[in-house]
Structure 1
Amino acid sequence: MKKNILISGLVATSMVIFSGCASKMEAPQNSGFFNCYEAFNNTSKFIGDTTELSKYKKVYVEDVIVISAIDDKEQTQSQKNLYKEISKYATSRLKEALEFKNSDKKSNNTLVLSGAISASEVHFEDKNWNQLSPLALGITVVSLNAYLDESARLVGEYSLDAENKTLARSLKLIKEIPISLNDDFLTLDDLKKPIDAWVENVASEINKGIK
């Protein structure tokens, strides 16, 4: 059900088009965080072997990247501030949730976790939840209806690397928790529940490697 929210002063914004494995002329199906998405097939998936993680004791968590799908030149100052808040919150939650000891620097014997958060519009007739459309992480004339219809979802991605080798990759659509607006603009509070759900998923996948 659409919420009766008054949106005023919206202006047209340009969406950044991210492509995965590229050169195909088709609508994007991903955020562009990974260079290639063929192994994921646009579905939530963990790729890796947690048994390789047991020899590591520390993890360096990079600041979570916020892929807004709004061109930098089109972002309002409040949106820029929001993306900083999202990154800070998600990064902090990851550090708390991982059972590996946090490291303040990268080294040869340390895991490196890089992650990204974006938004996607889901289509309720899609029973497999794999027909995703990248969505602006913010209110624009393009994204407005998706947020009002509660078809906006968080997508979390990460890569876990060590010694120039990728040990694990993951893409997770938080399908159970819509990004719900409580005002006429997006706030961190609107995103905390789906971010927390993504963090819990990351921790459940990576913490399996602890011996």
Structure 2
Amino acid sequence: MKQLLLLVLSFLFSLPIVAQEEHDATLYFLDGTDISGYATLKLDKASFYGAPQDKIVFRVTKDEKADVWDQKTVTKVVFHDFDTPRTFEYIEIKYSNGTEITLLELIIKGEVSLYADALAAWNSKPKDPDEASHITPEPKYLKVKRDKETKLTTLTGNKKKIAAYFNECPGIVERLENNTFNIATLEDIVEYYNDLCSDNFLEAPPRAVKKQADRDEEEGE
């Protein structure tokens, strides 16, 4: 009887933990439809076959059983109840011997997009509870990809690798040389490129110029 009571109490105390992991979310399917409800991520990099086994756990209402979804039917999930919406999407990467579909968090969308490893991003917690409800993981978990590229690039290491990737953007190269930019400011670098050096820059220069002027003013303070 005592053992049964302990099992019941353990189950009851575990319920709030599961509920806390769920977030208001929208699930997007391959056929273009979507549905709103509650979701969390089930992440397992060490699968038997070595391929990522990242799943999305989703249910429409909290009183129904959750279903598990993956890249076979789903394109992405967007979580709405963080300080800003967070998008995790399945990205198909082509290799010489085939393709692999990986779940990544989309940090910045643009001509150059910035992604984060899903497991690292989901487990990143702010050191200060008063900070934002999530933080960008360490640079070693970040990857960039141009629209026309079929692979992800990790820009860890020295600044020469970053400069080589963004070599058609003199402003980035200059800021790397004077230590304004470095691997820790990869988000700023990608935003700078998309605003001022991408092919889309000429479509909306006033916004980009103002954004860069604000950056330059902050640097001069």
- TM-score, length basis structure 1: 0.28
Higher helix share: 2
Larger of the two Rg values belongs to structure:
2
Whose relative contact order is higher, 1 or 2, with alpha carbons under 8 Å and at least 6 apart? 1
- TM-score, length basis structure 2: 0.27
Higher strand share: 2
